Structures are given as structure tokens and as C-alpha cells.
């Protein structure tokens, strides 16, 4: 799952309603033994995924930087880097 401290939808709107920090803002934190961390890569880089983890936090803070509402939010899958990540996940599952 991607996350970014600039994700205003999850960082501000959900946090106020739910009274807690959301995973889209800082990534998942539990269960620790099932989580690994990677950085969102550009489209020319290859991903290496940990096969022994059930959840991958993807630091997308280089891509999702705008601090305005609904700009480069967590559901913004149009950038090539997002497609590259998704296709890389699919390829690793083959």
C-alpha cells in the first residue's frame, strides 16, 4: 500500500473523523512481523519484493507531494510510477 505524509485526504479528513492517524499517511504499523517497507521507484527501476511478508508499505512521498485537497491523493493511480508498481506486483505473483 502506498502512503505519503502529503496525502491530505487521509492525513486531514479521515484523521479528524476517526481521531487517529491513518495508514495512507504514514503506512501500516501492525502487525510488525508481517510488514516490509520499500520506496516507490521510477519506471526504469526494478522492484525486489520480500516474499516472506504479507504487507508492503510503499513510501510514495516523492510522488505524492501536493498538500491541497484531492491532489495526488492515495487513489491517484494515473502517474506512470503507480502503474509500474502495480504491474511489478502482478509480475512478481506469476
pLDDT given for residue 12 in this prediction: 62
- How far are the Cα atoms of 2, 10, 41 from residue 48, in angstroms, in the given order? 16, 27, 11
- pTM for this entry: 0.76
Q: Tell which residue, 9, 33, 34, 32, has the closest CA to residue 22.
A: 9
Residue percentage of the chain with pLDDT more than 70: 68
Distance CA 5, CA 66 (A): 10
CA-based nearest residue to 25, from 1, 55, 2, 5: 5
Does the pLDDT value for residue 70 go beyond 70?
no
pLDDT reading at 24 higher than 80: no
Which grid cell is 8?
Answer: 491530505
Q: What is the pLDDT of residue 87?
A: 94
Amino acid at each position: 500500500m502506498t502512503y505519503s505524509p502529503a496525502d491530505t485526504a487521509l492525513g486531514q479528513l479521515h484523521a479528524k473523523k476517526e481521531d487517529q492517524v491513518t495508514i495512507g499517511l504514514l503506512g501500516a504499523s501492525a502487525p510488525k512481523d508481517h510488514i516490509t517497507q520499500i520506496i516507490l521507484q521510477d519506471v526504469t527501476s526494478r522492484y525486489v519484493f520480500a516474499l516472506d511478508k504479507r504487507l508492503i508499505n510503499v513510501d510514495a512521498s516523492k510522488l505524492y507531494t501536493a498538500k491541497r485537497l484531492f491532489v495526488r491523493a492515495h487513489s491517484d493511480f494515473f502517474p506512470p510510477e503507480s502503474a509500474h508498481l502495480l504491474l511489478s506486483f502482478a509480475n512478481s505473483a506469476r
